[in-house]
Amino acid sequence: MPVVLILGATSDIGVAIAKKFAAEKYGVILASRNPEQLSPLKSDLAIRFGIDCYSCQFDAMDFGSHQNFYQSLPVKPDIAICIFGYMKDNEFVSAHPDELVRTIGTNFTGAASILNIIARDFSKRKSGTIVGISSVAGLRGRQSNYIYGSAKAGFIAYLSGLRNRLFRDQVHVLTVLPGFVNTSMTEDLQLPPLLTAQPVEVAVALYKGVSKKKNTIYVKWFWKWIMLIIKMIPEPIFKKLRL
């Protein structure tokens, strides 16, 4: 039974992905800062789908613990999916250094730290798939969320470089750009329904991307063209817009 590791499993997207892979008969390792919250999901997956399911503690900001975390897993994964993220109001983050550190640390440094460890293992084994969920916010900086977006931009570049590095070791690296998603992290935002995906849509698109060994996917296809237009706006005009 192949095994998938989900980093950030208590998130709405993490739960949807866990259910999708369990339905496809993958063993599942659920990881989050609060593993006690994972107990109901762990039991549900194991009973409903008849799979092996584990839960463990993982803190993205505790960089020094990442090596021990990976070494202590009950079984080494075939697929590692990095879902965790952190986003607060941009003005609030810019005024509070602790929030700045947490935003960059969670969305970039923590992700790169644990994926570096997993990448070394997959490289030695000459197999595996690494999936990183980034954001279209990382494709061009905007005044409304440029701190969060800059961390996600770094993560996009990191995944691209990792894909280039691991290609000859037969390790697949997938970048996922969901666009707006209806989750608890975005519940305070006024999101346009037409442009907003549900967590289960992210899970289905991600599973297809893994199965077809895609490099980068957008959950809703039109985000590719929306972001292409936004990236093509000349800087003298773009800086005058309120985005």
pLDDT value of residue 66? 98
Helix (H, G, I), strand (E, B) or coil at 198: coil
Q: Which residues neighbour 110 within 8 Å (Cβ) at sequence distance 6 or greater?
A: 60, 61, 63, 84
Sequential DSSP letters for 110-171 = HHHHHHHHHHHHHHHHT--EEEEE--GGGSS--TTTHHHHHHHHHHHHHHHHHHHHHGGGT-
For residues 51 and 67, what is the distance between their CA atoms, to the nearest angstrom? Answer: 26
> pLDDT tens string for the chain (243 positions)?
999 999 999 999 999 999 999 999 999 999 999 988 999 999 999 999 999 999 999 999 999 999 999 999 999 999 999 999 999 999 999 999 999 999 999 999 999 999 999 999 999 999 999 999 999 999 999 999 999 999 999 999 999 999 999 999 999 999 999 999 988 777 777 788 888 999 999 999 999 999 999 999 999 999 999 999 999 999 999 999 988
Assess contact for 54 and 30: CB atoms under 8 A: yes
Percent composition of the chain: helix, strand, coil (DSSP 3-state, to 5): 55, 15, 30
Length of the chain: 243
Strand ranges, E, within the chain: 3-7, 27-32, 53-57, 79-82, 129-133, 172-177, 180-181, 196-197, 216-218
Assess contact for 195 and 220: CB atoms under 8 A: yes
pTM for this one? 0.94
Strand order in the sheet with 216-218: 53-57, 27-32, 3-7, 79-82, 129-133, 172-177, 216-218
Q: Which residues neighbour 197 within 8 Å (Cβ) at sequence distance 6 or greater?
A: 178, 179, 180, 181, 182, 219, 220
Residue whose structure tokens are 């609060």: 34
C-alpha R_g of the chain: 18
End-to-end CA distance of the chain: 46
Q: Which helix (H) or strand (E) holds 72?
A: none
Cα 18 → chain centroid? 13
